[in-house]
Amino acid sequence: MAPRLPGWLLQSPLFLRASHSIIRSNVTTRPFGIRSLNPPNTSRFNVGSDLPVLKSTPTAALERKANTLPPRTGAIAIKKGMTALYDTETGKRIACTVLQLDRVEVISHKTRQQHGYFAVQVGSGWKHPNNLTKSLLGHFSVNGISPKRHIFEFRVRDENGLLPVGQAINADWFQEGQYVDARSNTKGKGFAGVMKRHGFGGQDRSHGVSLTHRSLGSAGPSQGGGSRVYPGKKMAGNMGNEQNTVQNLKILKVDSQNGIVVVNGRFSLLLGALDYAN
């Protein structure tokens, strides 16, 4: 069989054709590059059209946080253990955590004019002066405060939440029935595998699986997915020792004489570790 010629050889060139026989395309072309399909809108981040345009100034940032920042400072507490109380109305057993406030005092302030925001620096406990740096000793001596073992900063809404320097924060700073947030560091587990850290099911114990029963397996896709490991992939690594916040915990008991606050629920804490109730 004789070979077939391609179609473009059987057609006459364009300059020999009649003008009415040439089919012209009406498809519009656009230049290369990324072009937004929607017109720019300055208020696209706001919910309603009557809201003001968002600004990036420090004043506007504080106004946006006016409803989320607490009006007064929190306190530093030490977890002493857990116990249980019974509800007098329902008879239900409630697990609760016992916290103690140990010589909690206000150390210094952060003001909007000098630092850009309002905050109260709080310290608790006591530490020997020989175990402190000269900068911390000077910081305590200027304010007339004894050396503290633990220091934490609580942000407040405005200047009305700034307590006087040297004021003690006792257990009666909180009230029964009040709801607080507890921030603490979780218990450190060290370097853990994927089964313990992320709850992976592991691989089979038989049917050809050798020495990879608790391993990760495939860490990423092949050529079709980019031949790379995606960011945020769950892998083995250090587990625990991270800040954790438990919100809306109810205060059940307050003992101002012994500095005890009993809070509903349980926290990821070691005995003697710090807990910040805000």
Q: Mean pLDDT, the chain, as a whole number?
A: 83
Model pTM score: 0.71
pLDDT band at residue 45 under the 50/70/90 scheme:
low
Neighbours of 274 (CB within 10 A): 18
Biggest CA pair distance of the chain: 109
- Using a pLDDT cut of 90, give the percent of the chain over it: 44
Tell the residue number behind the tokens 């952060």, with chain if given: 110
What span, in angstroms and rounded, lies between the C-alpha atoms of 73 and 162? Answer: 8
Q: Which of 30-34, 70-74, 81-85, 265-269 has the highest mean pLDDT?
A: 81-85
Determine the pLDDT at residue 85: 94
Strand partners, 97: 82, 263
Structure confidence by residue, pLDDT tens digits, 116-141? 889 999 999 999 999 999 999 999 99
Buried-state track 231-256, b at ≥16 Cβ within 10 A, e below 16 = eeeeebeebeeeeeebeebebbebee
What average pLDDT score do residues 140-149 get? 91
CA 105 to chain centre: 27
Q: Is the pLDDT of residue 69 over 80?
A: yes
Determine the pLDDT at residue 133: 92
CA 251 to chain centre: 24
Q: Is the pLDDT of residue 46 over 60?
A: yes
Residue ranges of domains in the chain: 79-101+170-196+237-278, 104-169
Q: Is the pLDDT of residue 48 over 70?
A: no
Neighbours of 170 (CB within 10 A): 16
pLDDT band at residue 55 under the 50/70/90 scheme:
confident
Short-list 110, 100, 124, CA closest to 163:
110
What average pLDDT score do residues 102-126 get? 91
- Using a pLDDT cut of 70, give the percent of the chain over it: 77
Determine the pLDDT at residue 57: 78
- Residue by residue, DSSP assigns the chain as -PPPPPHHHHSPPGGGS-GGGSPPP------SS---SS---TTTTSSSTTSPPP--SHHHHHHHTTTTS-SS--EEEEEEEEEEEE-TTT--EEEEEEEE--S-EEEEEE-HHHHSS-EEEEEES---GGGS-HHHHHHHHHHT----SEEEEEE-SSGGG-PPTT-B--GGGS-TT-EEEEEEEPPP-EEE-HHHHS------SSTT--S-TTS----S--GGGTSSPPTT---SEEE---EEEEEEEEEEEEETTTTEEEEES--S--TT-EEEE-
Q: Mean pLDDT check: name the lowest of 29-43, 97-111, 119-133, 258-272.
A: 29-43
Assigned CATH for 79-101+170-196+237-278: 2.40.30.10
What average pLDDT score do residues 57-72 get? 82
Neighbours of 118 (CB within 10 A): 22
Assigned CATH for 104-169: 3.30.160.810
Q: Is the pLDDT of residue 155 over 70?
A: yes
Structure confidence by residue, pLDDT tens digits, 7-39? 666 666 655 665 555 556 665 665 555 555 666
Q: Is the pLDDT of residue 193 over 90?
A: yes
